[in-house]
Amino acid sequence: MSFRNLRRYDRGYLGLHLVIGLLVFAAMTLILGEISEDIIKGEPLTVADVQISNWLHTHRSPHLTTGFLIVTSFGSSIPVSLIAITVGVYLLRRRQPYWVAAIWSSVFGGMLLNKYLKLVFYRPRPRFDDPILMLTTYSFPSGHTMAATVLYGVLALLLVTTIKSRSLRVLVVLAASCLIGLVGFSRMYLGAHYLSDVLGAFAEGLAWLSLCLTAVYSMWRQRNK
Catalytic (active site) residue 59 = no
Q: Which numeric CATH code is attached to 3-223?
A: 1.20.144
pLDDT of 22 reads 86
pLDDT of 12 reads 46
pLDDT of 204 reads 95
pTM comes to 0.89
Q: Model confidence over 116-148: pLDDT tens digits?
A: 999 999 999 999 988 888 888 899 999 999 999
- 161, 162, 164, 168 alpha-carbon torsion, rounded to 10°: -80
For residue 5, the 8-state DSSP code is: G
Give the length of the chain: 225
For residue 95, the 8-state DSSP code is: T
> Residue 48 and residue 198: Cα distance in Å, rounded?
13
143-160 and 77-93 helices cross at what angle (nearest 10)?
Answer: 20
Please identify which of the residues 17, 59, 63, 144 carries the catalytic annotation: 144
pLDDT of 225 reads 63
Please identify which of the residues 57, 59, 63, 193 carries the catalytic annotation: 193
- Which uninterrupted H or E stretch holds 142? none
How many CA within 13 A on the CB side of residue 37?
6
For the chain, what are the domain ranges? 3-223
At 59 the three-state DSSP class reads coil
Neighbours of 172 (CB within 10 A): 20
Per-residue pLDDT of the chain (225 residues; tens, 9 = 90+): 455 555 554 444 446 677 888 899 999 999 999 999 999 988 899 999 999 999 999 999 999 999 999 999 999 999 999 999 999 999 999 999 999 999 999 999 999 999 999 999 999 999 998 888 888 889 999 999 999 999 999 999 999 988 888 999 999 999 999 999 999 999 999 999 999 999 999 999 999 999 999 989 888 777 766
Catalytic (active site) residue 193 = yes
Neighbours of 169 (CB within 10 A): 16
